[in-house]
């Protein structure tokens, strides 16, 4: 019951923050240069048509989209729809945004899941190797790889991998979504960048754990290095990594937007990029708002997991509320 009350309280506290996000998001989107009505009409514009007709049509469409209303009215209408679970209708496609997102979400989830798996497969062994072989060759190699992974932009890494693996070697397809062969390159591009930060954080955390007295006691008792590492050190070292999971997911979400564009992956990210190009306000607002909700839910989930894994945090919180 205490855990349920804690989760409910955290979610309730997040509501004012979420309202603030909606207001800031609404205003930021409205300050994007360009006119949505003209952007839509230009996609259908006949070069031989009269420009004055384009201006008249733009004014009519501007009113039809409700953009002639005062900003407080537009914000109130949008917020009312959000409260009732309506993300709105796309300016360009005239279809409900929720339907569009649900059609593309499986592709994004597939890419994000594969990238997260690759990140863990690279980050955990690299972080462990860097800590266990501290200041030795393996540590230096993992540090250099991590530095390169952080420094190289994901879109550049994607283009390099596309050129080398697909164009030069012909091993994998360059673009599109299909079987496993289409998934490897975009997931690898996204996972490598994320693994660098996680590997460095795990290495630092493990080194701190190794320096604790109870670790020295465990070694003095004659426990094997494998037992000390996996039973005593690694579970405690993963706690700081867990707290950074929200940032990892943020990088994952932001990365999918770029990688889906580079590899023509038909997911939510590419849909949002097209919406930004076309000044499709409702789509941009819906996507960013959903991502903000995901962040808040993940932060609560991480706090709950941290509270469950570390008894010291649980006792401290219970003492504060007791």
Q: Give residue 44's pLDDT band: very low, low, confident or very high (50, 70, 90).
A: low
Does 72 score more than 80 pLDDT?
Answer: yes
pLDDT of residue 315: 47
The pairs formed by 303-309 with CB atoms below 8 angstroms and a separation of 24 or more are: 303/10, 304/3, 304/6, 304/7, 305/242, 306/239, 306/242, 306/243, 307/3, 307/6, 308/3, 309/235, 309/239, 309/242
Q: Tell me the DSSP string of 209-237.
A: HHTSHHHHHHHHTT--HHHIIIIIIHHHH
* pLDDT score of 310: 61
Q: Which two tokens stand for residue 112?
A: 């994000």
Question: Model pTM?
Answer: 0.74
Q: What are phi and psi of 71, to 5 degrees?
A: -55, -40
Cα(203)–Cα(132) distance, integer angstroms: 9
Other Cβ atoms less than 10 A from the Cβ of 259: the count is 28
Distance (Å, whole) CA 307 – CA 304: 5
Mean pLDDT of 280-298: 84
* Residue-wise pLDDT tens digits, 9-43: 877 888 888 888 888 888 888 887 777 777 776 66
Cα–Cα distance, 78 to 87 (Å, whole number): 8
Checking if the pLDDT of 97 tops 60, the result is: yes
């Amino acid at each position: 019951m205490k855990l349920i009350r804690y989760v409910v309280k955290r979610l309730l506290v997040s509501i004012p923050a979420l309202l603030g996000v909606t207001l800031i998001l609404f205003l930021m989107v409205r300050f994007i240069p360009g006119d949505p009505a003209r952007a839509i009409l230009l996609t259908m514009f006949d070069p031989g048509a009269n420009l004055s007709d384009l201006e008249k049509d733009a004014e009519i469409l501007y009113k039809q989209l409700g953009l002639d209303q005062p900003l407080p009215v537009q914000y109130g209408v949008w917020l009312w729809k959000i409260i009732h679970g309506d993300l709105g209708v796309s300016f360009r496609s005239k279809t409900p945004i929720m339907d569009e997102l649900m059609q593309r979400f499986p592709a994004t989830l597939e890419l994000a899941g594969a990238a997260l798996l690759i990140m863990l497969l690279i980050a955990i062994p690299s972080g462990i190797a860097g800590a266990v072989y501290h200041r030795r060759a393996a540590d230096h190699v993992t540090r250099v790889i991590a530095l390169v992974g952080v420094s190289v932009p994901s879109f550049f890494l994607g283009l390099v991998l596309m050129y080398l693996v697909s164009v030069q070697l012909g091993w994998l397809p360059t673009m599109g979504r299909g079987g496993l062969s289409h998934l490897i390159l975009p997931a690898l591009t996204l996972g490598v960048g994320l693994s660098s930060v996680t590997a460095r954080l795990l290495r630092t955390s493990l080194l701190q754990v190794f320096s604790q007295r109870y670790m020295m006691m465990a070694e003095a008792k004659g426990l094997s290095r494998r037992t000390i590492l996996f039973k005593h050190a690694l579970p405690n070292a993963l706690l700081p990594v867990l707290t950074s999971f929200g940032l990892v997911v943020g990088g994952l979400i932001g990365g999918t937007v770029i990688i889906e564009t580079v590899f023509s992956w038909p997911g939510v990210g590419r849909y949002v990029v097209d919406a930004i190009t076309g000044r499709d306000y409702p789509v941009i607002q819906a996507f960013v708002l959903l991502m903000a909700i995901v962040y808040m839910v993940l932060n609560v989930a991480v706090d709950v997991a941290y509270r469950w894994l570390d008894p010291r945090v649980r006792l401290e919180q219970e003492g504060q509320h007791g």
